Structure formats: structure tokens, C-alpha cells
Chain A
Amino acid sequence: MALETLHIEHVPADHHVYGALFRDVQNVDFLQAQLIGKNPEFEYAFIDASVIISRTHLLAAIFRALNTLTEGTLQTPNVHSDIVIGLSPTNNISESYRRYGLTPSKTRDVLVIKVVHPKVSSENSTVQTQTPESIWQHLTTHVKGTSVPLTDEEFAKSTDWAKVRKYYKLNGVPGVERIDKQDEEGRKREMEGLVVSGIALRGL
């Protein structure tokens, strides 16, 4: 398994998005410490995979963050942390980090997103232009877990629906409740739609 390039519609051609999903990661506290220590080598979006329901959900958050990046209206220091808070339907940044980012000794499956765009290489001259190979190299040496593909099936395996329902305020929503309880697929699709609009509407 290797790093996957994520193609998103309507994203500038010189912005590249890479992603990888690691199961049973052993060194979550180490990774979080690097983030808190603002280690420039660990400029990734680390996401707790249990709050992700599908690829669409993930891409919607990345798309939102890339939009703020191109508009120059980032709310956090860099695009990677904006991806993490981009998952949240609320404006509380530290809560978003706690909910969607890494939590030591709780997070098991870690989703890593890396955005490479021209601005980064010009600002940080120390960090050389990164290629998918070098990113993958760096990730495999520091993230202790097994890599799996970024598919809807893999996301579904680790989704914690209780959390998702709570974070996106989906409990007792009439739009979901009116769908037959037997129709599990239909309910999930409707919830995915509400999650995506929740992401889109943050800040309005």
C-alpha cells in the first residue's frame, strides 16, 4: 500500500492532495506531541478515522480547507489544521481539534492528509519540494500502523456512528427519522448529506 493521490474537482492544478489511512496506530501520543511542538516536518492533517463516514465526507472537508487556502482566509496556522477544523460544523477550534484530531490513547485509526502547494515551498525554504515518495517515506518511518486503502468500505469499518451522530447533531432529526428503520443504507445516505451540509455551512 502506498500514498494515495486524491483528485478533487475544482482545485487549482498546482495543489496536490495525498492521503493515507493507518490502522491500529501505536504511537498516537508521539504524533500528537509533534503537532503540539509545531515540528515543521510533521505538517500533516492527522484525523481520527472513527469520525469519518465516507470518502465524500473527507473530501468535502478538504475541499473547504483548500478553498479558504486559495482565498487566503485560513482560520488556523496552515491548511492542514484547517482540514481538521473543516470537519467540524461548529466554530470552536480547540473543540474541533479534540473531536476530529488525535487523542492520545483513544485514537486507533489515523487518517493522514498532506497538501502540497506552491506557497509552502516558497515560505519554508528548509523544507524541500515534497514528492509523494518522500512523504510516504517519512510517514512509514514515523507512523506505526498498518496502511489500508482509502475506500468507503474501509471508512465504514471504523466509523463510530454514535460519535458522528453527536458531533453533527443527527439524533432525532426528522429528515432521518422519517426514513424506514430497515433502510439502513438510505438512512446513512441521508446522514451523509446532512454531514456534508453541516461542513459547508459552518460559519454562516
Chain B
Amino acid sequence: MRLGAFPFPAKVPLCPSVAIADTSPGPDKTKVRDNQHPQRNFTRNQSQTHPLAIGPNPKICQLMDPTSQSPPTKKRKMASSTTTTSTTTAAVEQEHQFPLPPILTHPSSTPPILITQGAEGRLYKTTFLSPSIPCALKYRPPKPYRHPILDARLTKARLAFEAKVLERCRREGVPVPAVYAQNAAAGWIAVEWIEGAPVRVKINEWLGSRPKNEEEEREGANKDQGPLVELMRRIGSAIAGLHRTGVVHGDLTTSNMMLRPPKASSSEQTNGVTEEGEKAKLLEGEVVIIDFGLANQSQSDEDRATDLYVLERAFASTHPRAENLFEHLLESYKETFGKKGVSVLNKLEDVRMRGRKRSMIG
């Protein structure tokens, strides 16, 4: 089970009920929840000290719940009640770890879930207006190490910029999350929740299902990489669309792209699909670019080439086995972008030679 591999909260050893939980059989396998939805890059260990971020793992819930001293068997039977009690304890725990942004302290139908923590802010999954609209709320807490006035100004400017860039992309038809609401002065922005998983996860899943043996891999290398090549091409044209609107992302990685699964295909899935068909489905969907926290408005080839260079380096280190497919991405970028694309790719050669910083200042 995937969840079992994740680090436990730092608090665990302090809890007196460790022995009870340890003797109990493994956690309920039916309760695997999709936790592969970080909307931004982050350090896994930090965010996953929070049990809700890794899904309701009954084992942890037991450890955290002071009332769970009853025999484990009874606990597992009441699986649903376990999750509800754990939610409340977890909410307290979360508050203890990070205070919620003021906007999220007001009542909502479901408690906000901390998805990930980045260098500058935190990302929560919550709801917008009505319980049926999920949204991602990005919060930049005040930084105690900066002067308050400077801090307020920087936070506001960065959030405002991010919101404006998203709106601009949306208007131009680039697939990005829509802005739902913002309060730059208070340090938060709520954007559309993108279903699916990051491209990074999907590519690794795809590569993971390929033969591990080196010889086999060499044989299979030129065979059915079709869907992956197709995905690379979709990424390329999405980036070209972004650059065409005059926006450079600043932090392009496969973690900052989501693969939104196509709608209304659930009816087909249940009817005995072959393994091959299932694999092909893995990489289906629309590429949505997320996290514009470092974005900039620029029309210059230099900045665009740097954007591609950053992605190239990130791609090579996260998916070394698919590195050779990067050329497909560039090719499709060129096709979508036309003449400009050619000059960007020429510039990319220069950037590769010297690294992403042109001036060596700062």
C-alpha cells in the first residue's frame, strides 16, 4: 500500500497508544485516497506531517485520537466514524501546526485541507461559495523576518501579479486555473481546483509500468511510446500558447502542470478494458499549467528560452528515462508558435551553453 511508505507525524512516538496501534493489523486498504494532487512544488516531508494531506490513514488516526483506546477490531468496523473523529482532531492539529488564514476560519461545509507548503506560502483545498465548487486557496502568510510594511507590499504585489497573469492567460484561452476570488492585502487568492494529477506523477506512472530490465527497455524504447510522445507534444503547444500571450512562467516543471482527465469517460472504464487501453488512458487529458507565483510578463526570446531551459533541466532530472523525448516537446512548441518559435529555439542553444543567468549579477 502506497500510503504506508510515507513518514509518520513527528508526534507519533510521544503518543501512549503506539503499542496498541502497532499490534493491530495494517490499515484499511479500501480507504486509499488520491493524495497525488500537489498544486505546487514542495518539500514532501514537511506537508505530510499532516495526516489529512496524506489521506485518512486509520493507523495515524488512531494514534492521534485520544478516544481510540478501544480494541482495534471495533475501530475498524466503525471505519466511517473513525474518519469523522479524526477530522476534528486533525483540524485541531493543523491549527496547532499552522494557524489557518483568517478567511478560512469562517464556517464552511467541509474543513479546509492543507495540500502543500511551499517556500512562500501554503495551499489549501477548500470550497468556493457553495459546497459543490472546490477551489484551491493559496495563502502567503506574513513573514516575520521582513519589515511589516515591506512584507505587506511584497505579498500584495506578488499576489496581484499572479492573479492578473492568470486572468490574462484565461482570456487568451491558455489552459490555466480561473481566478475565483482574491484579497491580495490579506495574502490569499482562490483559484479553480484542477482535477487530476500532476504531469510528473502521470509520466512516472507510465514509465514505471515499462520493463525494468535494461535489455527489454532498449527493445521497447522505440515501441509504443506513442501516448507519451503525444503528451509531450501537448505540453509543448500549451507552453507555446502561454508564451504567445506574453507571459513567461518562471518555474516550469512537470510538477507545475496538471493533467486534467477528460470528462464523461467513466461509463467506458468499467467495461473490461484491456491493459493496453488502460495504459493509454493514463496519459489522456488536458495539460493545465499551474502556479504562476514566479511568472513574469515578457516578450523576449531570451526569457522564453530560459523558461524552456528550466523545464528541460527539470525534466531531465525528474524523468531521466524519458529525456530523449524532450525534442518532441520542442518540436511541437515550434509548430504552435511559428516563426517566433524558431528564434526562441535558437536562443535556447545559447542558454544551454551558458546556463540560465545572462548577467552574473545577483
Contact = CB atoms under 8 A, between A and B. Distances in A.
Interface of A: 7-13, 55-56, 59-60, 63-64, 67, 71, 73, 173-178, 193-194, 196-198, 200-201, 204
B313 to A, nearest CB: 31
Of the four ranges (under 10, 10 to 19, 20 to 34, 35 or more), the interface on chain B belongs to 20 to 34
A63 B129 contact: yes
Nearest to B159: A204
B130 A9 contact: yes
Contacts of B129: 8-9, 56, 59-60, 63
B287 to A, nearest CB: 15
Contacts of B180: 60, 196-197, 200
A172 to B, nearest CB: 10
A10 B103 contact: yes
25 contacts: A7-B130, A10-B107, A10-B126, A55-B130, A59-B130, A60-B181, A63-B129, A67-B183, A71-B185, A174-B171, A176-B173, A177-B173, A193-B178, A194-B178, A196-B178, A196-B180, A197-B167, A197-B170, A198-B167, A200-B179, A200-B180, A200-B182, A201-B182, A204-B160, A204-B184
Contacts of A67: 103, 181, 183
Main secondary structure of the interface of A (DSSP, over half): helix
Interface string B157-184: 0001001101100111110001111111
Main secondary structure of the interface of B (DSSP, over half): mixed
B104 interface: yes
Most buried by A among B109, B130, B192: B130
Contacts of B81: none
Interface of B: 103-104, 106-109, 126-131, 133, 160, 163-164, 166-167, 170-174, 178-186, 190, 192
B167 A9 contact: no
Given A175-B173, A201-B164, A13 B181 contact: no
Nearest to A59: B129
A109 B101 CA distance: 39
Contacts of B178: 193-194, 196-197
Nearest to A11: B106
Contacts of B174: 175
Contacts of B183: 67, 71
Nearest to A10: B106
Contacts of B109: 9
Given A12-B106, A60-B180, A178-B173, A201 B163 contact: yes
B171 A194 contact: yes
A56 B133 contact: yes
A197 B170 CA distance: 9
A9 B181 contact: no
Contacts of A59: 129-130
A10 B186 CA distance: 14
Contacts of A173: 171
A64 B188 CA distance: 13
